[in-house]
Amino acid sequence: MLSSYPHFLAFIGTIFLLSNGGYFSHHVFSYFESPPNALQEESFIFGHNIRHLITFNTPPQQVSITDLLTNSQDYHQQLVAVRGLITQPELHLDETELYLDFVFRLSQGNHFIVVYGRHDRTRSAPSIIINRTVEVIGIFWKEQDRKGSLIFNVLEAISVTPHPSQIPGTT
């Protein structure tokens, strides 16, 4: 029970950031790799180090997959919004059964990028369904070392929402 307490506090912190208009990421950046438009926060509650939460000063740039692939250095570690069609989705439940780790291809015509992230199942059902058009807001990585493997041109998702929005009056 006590081991899940820090996760609950991180969830509360996430709600605080969202209610105050910030964009956040679950990714823990090192000092050297923090995106230039990000503020990094760290909390200590009852002696427990709660994960770093990243908030961004600016809204995401709306870009196409072609732009990301053609000008990858310009968008490296930037917050972007990309729309496309989900293909080849994979969802994996983590050991706590509270989160889904996901990966999928986001396609626009003949071009695609790989999107990965984590979805909190306590907040909603995931919008990750094959052949669904979505908007992904996340951090673009031209190159990233993930547990000893170098990956190129990927998007670390902060949010995945249906496009056009299914909420009346929004775009």
Specify whether 148 is located in the same domain as 159: yes
The answer to whether residues 132 and 18 touch, using CB atoms and an 8 Å cutoff, is no
Given a cut of 90, whether residue 56 has pLDDT beyond it is no
CATH of the domain at 166: 2.40.50.140
- Percent pLDDT > 90 in the chain is 51
Mean pLDDT across the chain: 75
How far is 112 from 101, CA to CA, in rounded Å?
Answer: 20
Grade residue 170 by pLDDT with cuts at 50, 70 and 90. low
Q: Coil, strand, or helix at residue 123?
A: coil
- What percent of the chain has a predicted confidence (pLDDT) above 70? 63
- Domain count across the chain: 2
pTM equals 0.67
pLDDT tens-digit readout, 64-95? 999 999 999 999 999 999 999 999 999 999 99
Q: Output the pLDDT for position 142.
A: 95
* Residue-wise pLDDT tens digits, 109-136: 999 999 999 999 888 888 899 999 999 9
Decide which of 57, 73, 99 is a domain's last residue: 57
Give the Cα-Cα-Cα angle 165, 10, 50 (nearest 5 degrees).
140
Structural domain that includes position 8: 1-57
